[in-house]
Structure 1
Amino acid sequence: MQTAATPVVPFWNRLRTISLYAFRGESLITLIVLSACSLLSLLPGVGVIIRLLVTVAFYKFGFEVLHATADGRMDPPAGGLRVEESSGWSAIWLQTGFIALAVLALLLFGPVFGLIAVIVLAFGWPGAMMSLAIDGSVSHALNPVTWLSIMSRLGWPYFVATLLCLVIYVSMANAQALFAPFLPSVLAIFLAQFLSGYALVTTCHLMGYLVHQYQDELGYVSDQPASAPTPPRDPDRDVLDQTEALIRDGKAEEAAKLLHAQLRSRGGADTAHLRYRKLLRLIGDRDGQLQHGREYLSSLVARDKEILAVDIARECAELDPAFAPTRAEETTWVAHKAAQLGQSQTALRLLSGFHRRHPDSADIPKNYLLAATLMFERFNRDKDAHALLTQLQKSYPGHELQPRIAQQLAIVERMLNQAPAKPA
């Protein structure tokens, strides 16, 4: 994490450096090589496949740039295409999902409201890419709640960065249209691919820098600490290196056991915990993910890591809808934070059955008032909300929340008693 002694320079003060990033070192070499490879798309029969593979390779490098920048490494990553093959394909699926949403919006809402929806999707794209780079989940990145959460956390800098990304892509398209008619087809293909690659690398570097600048707000945990004059040695580095070696040898289960033993005996930073969860997902250990989720949540709650805590709770609740933290106060904290971050389904799952798990908890009225409010406002479960609020009113007379319970109950009752409009 960045400390007060080494503040991050805001991205708006580094725009020239960001715009020239793609022309430095390994980045320029990678752009030239992949653009040259795109010429093979002219081959009959295999051209489409080659173009797709080149696009995946560009996205792989883009993700390497994003990760490196988010971790505080401002030089282009050495070694070229080092990230997993799945990263490039995930980006392709994410882009396909956004295109499908845009087409669906235009078909369902018409040209005016459809265009508005497309603009919303354009502003959500950087948030989706940052989300995909952080946790690798395409479904999570496609969720509008994810974009809105990132937008609310970053505020106006997010929208400024998004506009810069749009300017870069529009400028790239204009440059292609300007030069393509005057060049031979081979040079035109090379230039078009090079400009597209430049736009991708530059925007990925910009998005990575945004994650780096606001890593605390996003709850981002770097795989590598940012450089400092006297960096402390990562106590988990040795065991993480050992697990990576085991994974390369196809021994993912042994890697998971090794990291589990480390976390049990000596604890570990968030980097080690998140790596362990990835290993558990890789080997399909559902019970291990749930058990670790409960243990890890206690640490996150104690350290007020709300975004990461809600993400872990969401993962576990998707694996088991009955999942809940061990302690009542932890469930209360995570559920209310989830509701604040727009994760209503996660909040409701955590609160379901709370009174049975913790019959003596003083948080029951507060939690079930929240649950009833979410049922009514987010899920159209008016009757369930009414029943829950009525039970709260009967079970906790004189409680300090009774005025709010009565107010919410009156709102729900007005909605339930509202007669449907009769045809004229």
Structure 2
Amino acid sequence: MNTPTIVPFWQRLREISLYPSQTGALITLVVLSLARVLGLLPGVGRIVTLLVTIALYKFAFEILRATANGSMEPPENTLDMDESVGRMGVLLQAAFIVMAFLSFFIGYLLFGDAGLFFGLATTLLLLLGWPGACMSLAIDQNFWHALNPATWMQIMSRLGWPYFLAYGLMTLIFLSAANAQALLEGFVPLLIGLPLFYFISGYALLATFHLMGYLVWQYQDELGFTPDAAPLPLINRNADPDQFILDEVAQMVRDGETDLATDALRAHLRERGGTEAVHTQYRKLLRLKGDTTELVRHGKEWLPMLLAQDREKAAVELFRELVELDPSYAVTDAESNTRLANRAAALGQTQLALRLISGFHKRHPKSADIPQMYLLAARLLSERMGKDAEAKALLTQIRTAYPNHALMPEVDALTKLIDSLGAKKPATT
């Protein structure tokens, strides 16, 4: 199988850490965190807590599988994964805890006081095997296969050092979450602290499961994993007007006729156009073939279509993919450039927004959006990256080039804010 060019996970650490802050994941996490308060109710509290935990794990496994299939957005259609996966996830964690305790007990029976080292060694192995077990459960939905140590060992051996690097990152995420909880403990009342602490631990859980899914996506060949031919998380398949071609292509893929399926979709798009599902499926097949040239060509053609349909979030993700495939790519239309930059900034994709703004005045010298774009860049540099000097330089350029512009009050206000924050910083010696 020809795999697409995939950015290594260690080059996407920021995106991985911010994954749970995307709207779909954030809303789910907030709702579950608030529901956790119901665990304080007498009588039914433990049942509610268990149900909330099961729901969180189900969503985490959905994230893992969606990411493993190449989707970098939280799943919105969560009907594909059986409800029992959440319960199996909780049981899997419980089984690992029980095995850890048993290892100390068995070690004591076999080796006496020296059994402590046996228990510690076994627990370390269990901790290292936990990501592999989770990946196995999300992909196969087979509890006993995921619980089998041979499964973890096989995944570790196939991935090699990237597995252990990812494990280290997961440990760092959980330690950071625990540290945040410790810092807040004692400062907030129970009714606020309980959902807040659950939110922090849930955020860490979703980030790590996304990382595990990305590990599967990046090393699909080594793991022998074939991603779904057409993951369409935002599409109602029953209502898609192009369902007939999607069904035909799905059958071709199942029959191993990937090239024929790609040609069929290409012909359909050229002759009739297509829904988002058709475009998404086409790009999925191109990635499987590793056809970078056609991915770039099609992406440039599809991007304005997404913007015309006000699908700005999808357009931003497509732009990100395009610049990863072709670093020289730039949006040639000023209005599209402005919309993408604003949307990328709103989505928290600061580097991508700054890339869209960089050189904007050269690409679009007649655009009325130049002051607004560079004011946005100044805000991003100061507020999100702490680069106050660069932000002030941009603000000075705006003030010099457009002294009478309507945005001058905002330029002055941001300048004063940066100056006031700079004045509060302790002087370095």
TM-score (norm 2): 0.53
Correspondent of 1:101 among 86, 99, 112: 99
- The equivalent residue for 1:200 is 205
**Amino acid corresponding to residue 67 of structure 1 in structure 2:** R
- Tell me if structure 1 keeps the 8 A contact 2:68–2:217: yes
Q: What value does the CA root-mean-square deviation take over the aligned residues?
A: 2.8
Deviation, structure 1 residue 108: 1.5
Correspondent of 2:15 among 3, 14, 17: 17
Following the alignment from structure 1 to structure 2, what is the Cα–Cα distance between the partners of residues 67 and 89? 16
**Secondary structure of the corresponding residue to residue 60 of structure 2:** helix
Following the alignment from structure 2 to structure 1, what is the Cα–Cα distance between the partners of residues 257 and 30? 37
**Secondary structure of the corresponding residue to residue 186 of structure 2:** helix
Shift in alpha-carbon separation, 1:2–1:209, aligned structure 2, 3 A: farther
2:180 is the alignment partner of 1:175: yes
- The equivalent residue for 2:255 is 268
Following the alignment from structure 1 to structure 2, what is the Cα–Cα distance between the partners of residues 198 and 81? 22
Correspondent of 1:78 among 76, 79, 84: 76
**Secondary structure of the corresponding residue to residue 181 of structure 1:** coil
Correspondent of 1:55 among 50, 53, 63: 53
Shift in alpha-carbon separation, 1:153–1:45, aligned structure 2, 3 A: same
Following the alignment from structure 1 to structure 2, what is the Cα–Cα distance between the partners of residues 37 and 72? 31
Correspondent of 1:120 among 105, 121, 125: 125
Deviation, structure 1 residue 224: 3.9
2:176 is the alignment partner of 1:189: no
**Amino acid corresponding to residue 35 of structure 1 in structure 2:** S
Following the alignment from structure 2 to structure 1, what is the Cα–Cα distance between the partners of residues 29 and 255? 38
- The equivalent residue for 1:65 is 63
- The equivalent residue for 1:43 is 41
- Tell me if structure 2 keeps the 8 A contact 1:60–1:81: no
2:247 is the alignment partner of 1:238: yes
**Amino acid corresponding to residue 247 of structure 2 in structure 1:** D
Shift in alpha-carbon separation, 1:269–1:181, aligned structure 2, 3 A: farther
Following the alignment from structure 1 to structure 2, what is the Cα–Cα distance between the partners of residues 240 and 94? 37
- Tell me if structure 2 keeps the 8 A contact 1:236–1:268: no
Following the alignment from structure 2 to structure 1, what is the Cα–Cα distance between the partners of residues 80 and 224? 25
Shift in alpha-carbon separation, 1:236–1:47, aligned structure 2, 3 A: farther
Following the alignment from structure 1 to structure 2, what is the Cα–Cα distance between the partners of residues 267 and 23? 35
**Amino acid corresponding to residue 88 of structure 1 in structure 2:** G
Following the alignment from structure 2 to structure 1, what is the Cα–Cα distance between the partners of residues 30 and 43? 24
The C-alpha deviation readout for 1:106-130, integer Å capped at 9, x for no partner, is 1122322211111111000000000
Deviation, structure 1 residue 2: 5.7
Shift in alpha-carbon separation, 1:142–1:240, aligned structure 2, 3 A: farther
Following the alignment from structure 2 to structure 1, what is the Cα–Cα distance between the partners of residues 83 and 221? 29
Following the alignment from structure 1 to structure 2, what is the Cα–Cα distance between the partners of residues 192 and 28? 15
Shift in alpha-carbon separation, 1:186–1:143, aligned structure 2, 3 A: same
Following the alignment from structure 1 to structure 2, what is the Cα–Cα distance between the partners of residues 236 and 222? 20
Q: Which has the higher contact order (CA 8 A, sep 6+)?
A: 2
The C-alpha deviation readout for 1:366-392, integer Å capped at 9, x for no partner, is xxxxxxxxxxxxxxxxxxxxxxxxxxx
Residues matched between the structures, number: 242
Structure 2 matches for 1:292-307, cutoff 5 A?
Answer: none
- The equivalent residue for 2:138 is 133
Structure 2: runs of 5 or more not aligned: 108-114, 233-241, 259-429
- The equivalent residue for 1:90 is 88
- The equivalent residue for 2:296 is none
- Tell me if structure 2 keeps the 8 A contact 1:72–1:225: no
- Tell me if structure 2 keeps the 8 A contact 1:26–1:80: no
Following the alignment from structure 1 to structure 2, what is the Cα–Cα distance between the partners of residues 43 and 81? 30
> Aligned residues: percent identity?
52
